Amino acid sequence: MPKTDPQTPPVATWSDLGTGAPDETSPAGSSTWYFRGHNFALAYTTLVAGDALTRADQPDEYVVILPFDSCSVEVRAGDEAEKVTGRAVVMVPPGHSTITAVEECTVVRLVSARSTDLIGRAGNAEAYRVPHPNVAPFAAWPDPPEGYRIRAYRLDDLTVTQDQVRPGQLLRCSTFMVNFLSPRIGPRDPDSLSPHHHDDFEQCSLAVEGEYVHHLRTPWSKSRREWREDEHVRCGSPSVAVIPPPMIHTSEAVGAGVNQLIDIFCPPRLDFSLTPGRVLNEATYPLPQSPQSRRES
């Protein structure tokens, strides 16, 4: 894989969303902010009632996140149409599709790096001018055996996976994995944090309620010029942070009320997927034939 300048190793990037001038405003008044990772782009939209988000020629499956109970949209793709209300994760097939707001609401779209028209709009695009050396290139996972279609997963209809560290509602498709973490009421116990790192994939953490401190540590290399001080980045909501490998990280909820974080991975995480029952829709989307398929370009 391409290497970055040894004096400028990859860094975490973050941004408040929904504040400041939007990257895009529709004629109807909907506002969108874009942010990207190595393999994906995130579009955060305040969508006014009756306005629509259209993908005319989407190259692969993409994901819509409805983060709040007040969300209400109609999703159309091909000959299908489905109204989705409340907190949900929706898998949308390739090709032509529209997301129309029934009521004014927040809509988050996730597209892979194959959607080059959206990748270039990201406010942090300069951070990816040179490909990151430790991130495996994007490779979609196998097609669903029953074919692509609208698949809406309403959180109220799903069970919660009981993971000791990160319980939540974990879903995947051919391009993304989304972990809608269990809400945390009040600050996290500072004596029970979970610092960890990833070898070859980024973690995107989207905060939709509350306040978080992202604790970040860059491992030491042989070159002291690459060493960095630890960072403790305080982010409100909505906000997004993208953490490159092998940066050590943990997110600490510090808000007094509800703190809600959604973790995003592109492509899906194999390690989570290999634990039976952890991914709630694992029967719909098959695993790659081998772990090495994640590294195929």
Q: Is the peptide bond before 244 cis (omega within 30 degrees of 0)?
A: no
- Strand, coil or helix: what is 103? coil
Count the alpha carbons within 13 Å of 271 in the hemisphere toward its beta carbon.
5
Q: Residue holding tokens 């579009």?
A: 43
pLDDT, residue 290, reads 67
pLDDT, residue 295, reads 39
What is the pTM for the complete model shown?
Answer: 0.93
CA dist., res. 252 & res. 255, Å (int): 9
Distance of alpha carbon 217 from its chain centroid, rounded? 21
pLDDT, residue 296, reads 37
- Measured between alpha carbons, how far is residue 166 from residues 14, 182, 193, 199 in Å? 21, 8, 11, 19
Instruction: Enumerate residues 6+ apart whose C-beta is below 8 A from 8.
Output: none
Q: pLDDT tens across 160-191, in order?
A: 876 666 679 999 999 999 999 999 999 999 99
> Which domains does the chain carry?
13-285 (2.60.120.10)
Q: pLDDT tens across 95-143, in order?
A: 999 999 999 999 999 999 999 999 999 989 988 988 888 999 999 999 9
Q: Residue 32's closest CA among 117, 94, 89, 90?
A: 117
Q: pLDDT under 70 in the chain at which residues?
A: 1-9, 162-166, 290-297
- Measured between alpha carbons, how far is residue 170 from residues 1, 18, 34, 43, 197 in Å? 30, 25, 24, 20, 19
Alpha-helical runs (H) found in the chain: 116-119, 270-273
Count the alpha carbons within 13 Å of 87 in the hemisphere toward its beta carbon.
18
pLDDT, residue 293, reads 41
